[in-house]
Amino acid sequence: MAVSVETLPTLVSDEVLIARRRERRIGFVVFTGLAVLAFVVPHEVPSWMDTGIQRWAQDRYRWSILNRESALIFRWFFNPVTDALNWSVEHAESWLLALRWPGVVAVTAAVGWRTGGVRAAIIGAAAMGGVGVIADWDLAMRTLAIMLVAVLIALLLGVPLGILAAQSDRFERVLRVVLDTAQVMPVFVYFSPLQVAFALKFAPAVMATVIYALPPAVRLTNLGLRQVPVVATEVAESFGSTKLQRLFKVQLPMARRSILLGLNQVIMMAFAIVVLAALLGTGDLGQEVLKAIQKTEVGTAFAAGMGVVLLAVALDRVTTGERPAHRLRLLNWLPRVPFRVAGAIAVGGAVATVIAARVFEWQQFPSWLTIDIAPTIDGWFDWAKNNVRKGVPVIGGTQAISDFLTTWVLDPLRDFLWWLPWLVVVVGLAFVGWLSKGWRLALTVTVCMVLIGTMGSIPGGGGRVTLWDLAMDTLSQVLVAIVLSVLIALPLGILAGRSDLVERLLRPFLDIAQVLPQFVYLIPVVFLFSIGRAAGVAACVVYAVPPCIRLTALGMREVAMPPREAAISFGATGRQEMRFVQLPLARKAILLGINQTLMMVLATVIIAALVGAGSLGLVAYEATAKPNVKLGQGVAGGLSIVLLAIMLDRITQAWGTSPDTDRRT
Amino acid sequence: MISVRDLWKVYGPRANRIVGSPEADLPRGELQQRFGNVVAMRDVNLDVAPGEVFVVMGLSGSGKSTLIRCITRLIEPTSGQVIVEGDDVTAASAAELLQIRRHKVSMVFQHFGLLPHRTLLDNVAFGLELRGMNRTARRERAAQTLELVGLPGMGDYKPHQLSGGQQQRVGLARALATDPDIMLFDEPFSALDPLIRREMQDEIVRLRREVRKTMMFITHDLSEALRLGDRIAIMRDGRFVQVGTPTEVVLEPADEYVANFVRDVPRSHVVPVDAVMAPPADGPYAGEVLAGTKVRDAVALVAHSDLPVRVVRDGRTVGTLDRVGVLSVIAAEEL
């Protein structure tokens, strides 16, 4: 098991190269022919292609309403799960409320003290206290309760799955496909099916959060276990450990850091989603944010949003568990608190506050401590309307940018995609797929796109709009947003990958950006760009640029030193070294970074429906509000999003992997 | 103690059909291309006597690591038989294999293989813990073993706080703690710098005297093999090309390959005085050396006097050594 020579590389011979060249020529001819043909056939998606999926889904929903008490799947599975989830959230909420705010803050501090020392305790407690100051404490506790239940479930499912994946390559492969798909699916997509399955109260929101937060738990458990050095497992085996002994005494302890990192990411993912899951009617802080965004009440949205962000910061700090290296010297002298002491303090403190709260009849959060920042923010907003949106010399303000983007970029691109016969688009994308990786990908792309064509149409724009047309609208937004993001992020990332100074300057921004949940970006965007498709694109760019910078810089920095040094020793200038060595070697990593950026852009384009970007996102999201009429449309919209996502993901992923190794498969 | 019979390890599809077939003798690249197989070890036979130190020497890729891992089936051999203290390892059930690994054989690893999340004490006690020994007993035993390898009282340290040499002492202690009859060493010192390596080799020599164990030792370092081995097996392309005492290997290399290997070894370092002594004569003598002493270590004695030196075995004089004998060995080195 130490050495694996099971798969052996083969040489690429001349014949293969010649064959490849011929294949290339055939490909060009085939695709040109197909494109010409595609111009001849109907320009619109023909109506006979409608598979009736919308009606089918709507019927499922009606059936689920009628049979919720009688059908076996509900009685024995979905209903008990729904009840259990609701029970858990309600109890978690009532415990948090019983603790009152001093108790919650104290528990946060105790956990932080244990995991990350005094610093984490202070930051965690301050952030948690800040939630009460800025936002509605009761609503925040409901958000926290939903979060905690979802995170717990994600771990209970994710860690064992990760362990299984680490044991078996085959299981890992299957799981990876599932997780990849789950992760490229923008959130709204889950909502409608979850509503069918778990109709009531918190359950669908919890499940949506779990689905979204599960992947990092699985991935990082798997990764941590697989990164345990071979020699450690060999040692365990050579001294005669059973499989379980090996797992519990060697592998899991050695993977601990990775698993804890997974916990941290699970929490961050859960935060990204918990606000959006509020669309399913949780009545928590998230719903407050969404309602306010839709009504462009920027101040209220900002206050509630800040509450969620502070909650995220608090949990992030106390679960990161990493003691920063540049800690104050003084703090080094403070002993790390043993688990028992921290636990005793936490439990004791909790009991004490619960009793005190009863005796003195404390409020949930003292009103004299709260600050209503909404009016102030609204004041800024009004100012910005007159001084940033317009009235800026030369560029004219953000409104002008927004108008320009809509009129001269988004509209023409969308109209072009609409003008093209739909099969030409299919063939064109398939061609891109073929160029990127080969026939198989071309086929995948074709299947995805044709399936979008079978999704039917929905009422809109005074007649009926096909989901194909909506998908083209979404696609145009995605393309514009990704191009803008890459144009901004790539130079910065390359710079940060070469200059320590630039990296140090950018780092704080990138770190903060990583913690902020997606929806947070919608607030400043509304602030600056009002609502509409340009605002949506702006939100995507703001959201996608930091990770793109980070991944590019990382790719640049991961290039090994020896070849770079060799280039310099031969007298390459810095620029030459970058052009001939570092950039080519970092190319794949950077392209994979762009792939991830694209997925983020797509996810945000869908969410941007909340700020008036319309298109597929709107279809998926409206269904959650009126499932009894629009659920079928929502499912069709959601499926279209998924298909679009898979198509875009596969193509860009292919850029990051070498065509030589993958063509053959 | 350890018997290995016709042991093969072939990687790739349908490995069994390659074993013993003419295809196994194809050049490496051709076999790989045509069948997708790689022969890591072919037809290895060996016997290690109780208390013997058997060194397997070869360059990287020669199959020596595969061989040592097959002894306890960390790597599953493709065919052949391994017998350890009368137990057929290759036929053992999973449960029997665990017992063999827990009680009879222990291993020291190339990169130490210490478990970073455990203290030294818990690292050393690892094998005992797997056996199910209770906490106090195993920690006590582990502390004693740490003392034996020269790290007394360091039980509460974590591995990363130690130097490489110290870490491997812990690796050694861990292998000793289970008190196995057989110890396997997989290039244990190759990651250490030369001075420390030397020190650790002395440690092995010392331990050998104090705790009599059967040892199988893998190395790619010829001088290490010559210092430690009672017998040395030279491995190349997965097969043994020569098995013999250090003297035999150096003086009578089986083929060109081995000859190239040992060319730079000073003869006087491996030739015992017995090989060049004259028949016993009546004194006077300048002094005496024990039979089996390497010529190098007798040079000073012979050089300082015109008189010959007596060679003694079990208290009896078995021969005499003079300058001619010594010089004949040293002169041969120059060729």
Q: Which of A399-403, A523-527, B74-78 is least confident?
A: A523-527
At A279 the pLDDT is 79
Question: Is the minimum CB–CB distance between A1 and chain B shorter than 8 Å?
Answer: yes
B285 shares a domain with B248 = no
**A630 C-beta neighbours (distance < 10 Å), count:** 22
Q: Which residue in chain B has the smallest CA separation from A253?
A: B117
Strand partners, B186: B218
pLDDT value at residue A481: 92
| Averaged pLDDT for residues A13-38 | 81
Percent of chain A at pLDDT exceeding 90:
9
Q: Does B11 touch chain A (CB under 8 A)?
A: yes
pLDDT digits (tens, 9 = 90+) for B263-301: 888 878 888 888 788 888 777 887 888 887 888 888 888
Is the per-residue pLDDT at B197 higher than 50? yes
**Would residue B275 count as lying in a domain?**
yes
Confirm whether pTM is higher than 0.90.
no
Look at strands B287-290 and B2-11 and give their pairing. Answer: unpaired
Look at residue A656 in the predicted model and tell me its pLDDT: 74
Residue finishing a domain among B217, B250, B265: B265
For residue range A547-594, list pLDDT tens digits in order.
899 889 988 888 888 888 888 888 788 888 888 888 888 888 888 888
**pLDDT tens, residue by residue, A387-432:** 777 766 666 677 888 888 888 888 889 889 888 888 888 989 999 9
Please state at what angle helix A467-498 crosses helix A411-419, rounded to 10 degrees: 130
Q: Is B308 a domain residue?
A: yes
Interface test with A, best of B32, B74, B158 (most A CBs within 10 A): B74
Task: Count the neighbouring beta carbons within 10 Å of the beta carbon of residue A305.
Answer: 29
A159-179 confidence digits (pLDDT tens): 999 999 998 889 988 988 888
On the question of pLDDT at A330 being above 60, the answer is no
User: Mean pLDDT, to the nearest integer, of A30-34?
Assistant: 84
pLDDT value of residue B334: 53
The reply to whether residue B75 touches residue A254, judged by beta carbons under 8 angstroms, is: no
Residue B47, token pair as written in the block: 């016997």
Is the Cβ pair B74, A237 closer than 8 Å? yes
| Mean pLDDT computed over A449-475 | 84
Chosen from B62, B65, B98 to mutate, greatest number of chain A CBs within 10 A: B98
**Residue B157 resides in a domain:** no
Report the pLDDT averaged over residues A473-478: 91
Which two structure tokens, joined as six digits, stand for B55?
A: 């060194």
**Same domain, yes or no: B327 and B195:** no
Q: Does B123 contact chain A (CB < 8 Å)?
A: no
On chain B, the residues whose CB falls within 8 A of the CB of A227 are: none
| Domain around B304 | 269-333
B40 contacts on A by Cβ (under 8 Å)? 3, 5
In terms of domains, do B193 and B71 share one? Answer: yes
Q: Is B74 within 8 Å of A253 when comparing Cβ atoms?
A: no
Band of the pLDDT at A324, cuts 50, 70, 90? very low
What are the C-alpha distances in Å from B249 to residues B47, B294, B328? Answer: 17, 15, 19
Q: Which of the two residues, A370 and A598, has the higher pLDDT score?
A: A598
Contacts of A240 in chain B (CB under 8 A): 97-103, 127, 130-131
Q: How far is A275 from chain B (nearest CA, A)?
A: 38
Residues B191 and B95 in one domain: yes
> Is residue B302 in a domain?
yes
Among B32, B126, B128, B184, the strongest candidate for a mutation testing the A interface, having the largest count of A CBs within 10 A, is B126
Q: With CB atoms and an 8 Å threshold, state whether B101 touches A235.
A: no
**Residue B260 C-alpha, separation from nearest chain A C-alpha, in angstroms:** 29
In a domain, B249, yes or no: yes
What is each CA distance from A152 to A8, A253, A262, A510, in whole angstroms?
A: 42, 20, 12, 28
Query: Nearest Cβ partner of A234 from B113, B126, B174?
Result: B113
Least confident of A85-99, B55-69, B163-177: A85-99
Residue to mutate among B115, B131, B160, B218, with most A CBs inside 10 A, is B115
Q: Give a yes or no: residue B29 inside a domain.
A: no
Per-residue pLDDT band for A461 (boundaries 50, 70, 90) equals low
Pair of tokens at residue B73: 């089936």
Distance from B270 to chain A by nearest Cα, in Å?
A: 34
* Chain B CB within 8 Å of residue A420 CB: no
Q: What CATH number should be reported for the domain holding residue B248?
A: 3.40.50.300
Interchain proximity A2–B65, CB inside 8 Å = yes
Q: Average pLDDT, stretch B172-196?
A: 89
Q: What is the DSSP string of A125-140?
A: HHHHHHHHHHS-HHHH
E-only strand ranges, A343-434: none
Question: B324 and B184, same structural domain?
Answer: no
Average pLDDT over residues A197-217: 84
For position B1, what pLDDT does the model report?
Answer: 84
Band of pLDDT at residue A3, cut at 50, 70 and 90 = very low
pLDDT for B55: 93
Q: Smallest Cβ distance to A241: which of B32, B40, B130?
A: B130
pLDDT in tens, A237-248: 889 888 888 999
Encode burial over B191-202: b for 16+ CB neighbours within 10 A, e otherwise: bbeeebbeebbe
Whether B284 and B320 map to the same domain: the answer is yes
* Amino acid making up residue A500: D
Q: What is the pLDDT of residue B24?
A: 80
State how far residue A247 is from chain B, nearest Cα, in angstroms.
Answer: 12
- Range in A69-73, A96-100, A330-334, B30-34 with the lowest mean pLDDT: A330-334
CB-nearest partner of A6 from B11, B113, B131: B11
- Residues of chain A with C-beta less than 8 angstroms from the C-beta of B105: 238
ipTM of the complex: 0.78
| Confidence (pLDDT) at A665 | 29
B191–chain A Cβ distance below 8 A for any pair: no
What is the 3 state secondary structure string of A479-544? Answer: HHHHHHHHHHHHHHHHHHHHCHHHHHHHHHHHHHHHHCCHHHHHHHHHHHHCCCHHHHHHHHHHHH
Domain count, chain B: 2
Closest Cα in chain B, distance from residue A662 (Å)? 20
**pLDDT value at residue B141:** 92
Of the residues B250, B265, B280, the one at which a domain ends: B265
Cβ-count burial of B300 within 10 angstroms (0-12 exposed, 13-18 middle, 19+ buried)? exposed
pLDDT for A2 equals 40
- What's the gap in Å between the CA of B272 and the closest CA on chain A? 38
Residue of A103 and B78 predicted with greater confidence = B78
Do residues B316 and B190 both lie within one domain? no
Tell me the residue type at B38. Answer: V
Q: What does the pLDDT look like over A122-141, one tens digit per residue? A: 888 888 888 888 888 888 88
Count of all residues that appear for chain B in the document: 335
Which two three-digit tokens encode residue A623? 């269904």
pLDDT (average), residues A257-262: 84
Residues B273, B231 share a domain: no
- Final residue of a domain: which of B265, B286, B320? B265
A364 pLDDT band, cuts 50/70/90, is: low
Contact B98 A8 (CB under 8 A): no
Which 220-239 residues of chain A touch chain B by CB within 8 A? 229, 231-232, 234-239
User: B335 pLDDT band (50/70/90 cuts)?
Assistant: very low
Q: Is residue B71 part of a domain?
A: yes
Residue B253 is assigned to a structural domain of this protein: yes
Residue A6 has pLDDT above 80, yes or no: no
Chain B residues inside the 8 Å CB shell of A2: 65, 69, 74-75
Residue B102 sits at the chain A interface (C-beta within 8 Å): yes
The token duo for B93 is 């059930």
**pLDDT confidence of residue A595:** 86
Taking an 8 Å cut-off on Cβ atoms, the answer to whether A238 and B107 are in contact is: yes
- Cα–Cα distance for residue pair A249/A233, rounded to 1 Å: 10
Same domain, B206 and B224: yes
My answer on whether B281 and B194 are in the same domain is: no
With a cut of 50, say whether residue B158 has pLDDT above it: yes
Task: Read off the pLDDT band of A382 (50, 70, 90).
Answer: confident
Nearest CA in chain B to A234: B74
Residues B208 and B299 in one domain: no
Q: DSSP code of B294?
A: B
Question: With 80 as the cut, is the pLDDT of residue A116 above it?
Answer: no
Share of chain A above pLDDT 70, in %: 91
Give B194 to chain A, closest Cα distance, Å: 23
Q: Using a CB-CB distance cutoff of 8 angstroms, which residues of chain A are in contact with residue B112?
A: 231
Chain A residues inside the 8 Å CB shell of B116: 254
The span from the CA of A125 to the CA of A112, in Å, is 8
Q: pLDDT tier at A339 (50, 70, 90 boundaries)?
A: low
Shared domain for B66 and B198, answered yes or no, is yes
CATH number assigned to the domain comprising residue B325: 3.90.1280.20
Residue A249 touches chain B, beta carbons under 8 Å = yes
pLDDT tens-digit series, residues B99-148: 888 899 999 988 888 888 889 999 999 989 888 889 999 999 999 999 88
Average pLDDT, integer, range B4-9:
89
Inspect the interface and report whether the beta carbons of A242 and B98 lie closer than 8 Å. Answer: yes
Other Cβ atoms closer than 10 A to B165: 18
Pick from B38, B102, B117: CB nearest A239: B102
